[in-house]
Amino acid sequence: MKDRIVIDLGRMMDEIFEATKDLICANWTIDIDDMVADYKTRRNFDPATQSWYAEKDGLTVGIAECYWFDLPLEKRRVLRIGSNWLKEYYGTVLPDILLDVAEAKCREMAAEMETNLTLVFSGWTMKQAEGRHDVYKNHGFNPVRYFFNMTRNNQKELGDYPLADGIVIRTAEEKEYRKVFNAIGEAFKDHWGWSEATEEEYQEWKKDRHFQPHLWKIAWIGDEVAGTVLNYVDEAENDEYNRKRGYTETICVHRNWRGKGIAKAIIAESIRMFTAMGMEECALGVDAENPSGALKLYQQLGFEEVKDQTSIVLGKSF
């Protein structure tokens, strides 16, 4: 039963997303499988009681959902509210009703929680999606964190970034996937929003359409993972937007090996690979306040912020 609900919810969310791309300022591609995979691994989420949709004449016109997760390093429990609605319902009561229903459910769940963590509400929007942002703002949500989407023209000159002796860049064999996954989790422990990964998340990670290990660039020291760039190409997105783009994502370096030029070397190798494949640009996303200085590093490598593609995590005190 739950699987059926998840599939139906994924279908409805995909339909709403496709119908509102211009309004939420999205320039990426999501399909039903992406949504279903997300719902399957979403923590503390019962789709039968924590998601709602508004329907008119058999058409889904709005959708809302809520779930919660812990950020133990920050001593916070986050009650996340998501919502979306069709263009013609901006300026009506529907967006407010959707957020109110989700917030009420969050408060109902919170009343049953026993925790010493600070409870906070959270939402999400693109910076340019002013109408959507205004709805959340009217419900008491304010910006908490900014994330930049960045691109790099592959025609730009790229320097040489040699590695110290003993560090090798290669992909990963199937038997090493778990080692790569664990190394990423360890490297991101000091990053905002980190939480311990589950076994289910690992299994779904290997099924994701962006899981393309033949494109990875991994820095190895012996049989240990020192750094990663989990590159991928989204063919559907490139076709839809007439692009030739490769993504240099999940960039991390183990804290014991930071400051040794590993990140620059494996990103540069990724850029060269994509250029050889005929990709005209590379892209990545970054936390504007990344504690390891990632934003500055990407700028040094020629990546530039895409001004209309900044996303915002919104927050509201409980």
What are the strands of the beta sheet with 167-170, ordered from one edge? Answer: 167-170, 217-221, 224-229, 252-253
**Angle, nearest 10°, between helix axes 199-207 and 177-187?**
120
Q: What pLDDT is recorded for position 280?
A: 98
**Token pair listed for 88:** 């013609």
What is the crossing angle of helices 32-41 and 199-207, to 10°?
170
Q: Is residue 318 part of a domain?
A: no
Per-residue pLDDT, 132: 92
pLDDT for 249: 97
Q: Give a yes or no: residue 248 inside a domain.
A: yes
Query: What pLDDT was estimated at residue 293?
Result: 83
Q: What is the pTM of this model?
A: 0.91
Q: Same structural domain for residues 80 and 44?
A: yes
Give the model's pLDDT for residue 10.
79
Contact 81, 99 (CB under 8 A): yes
Tokens of 57: 């004449």
- Over the chain (318 residues), what is each successive 10-residue block's mean pLDDT? 74 83 84 84 90 92 94 90 94 96 97 95 93 94 95 94 91 96 91 83 93 98 96 96 97 90 96 98 92 88 93 94
Where is 146: in which H helix or E strand? strand 142-153
Determine the pLDDT at residue 300: 95
* Domain shared by 156 and 244, yes or no: yes
Cβ atoms of 187 and 194 closer than 8 Å: no
Domain that holds residue 248: 150-310
* Residues 47, 286: Cα–Cα separation, whole Å: 30
User: How many independent structural domains does the chain possess?
Assistant: 2
305 and 159 housed in the same domain = yes
- What pLDDT, on the 0 to 100 scale, is given for residue 2? 64
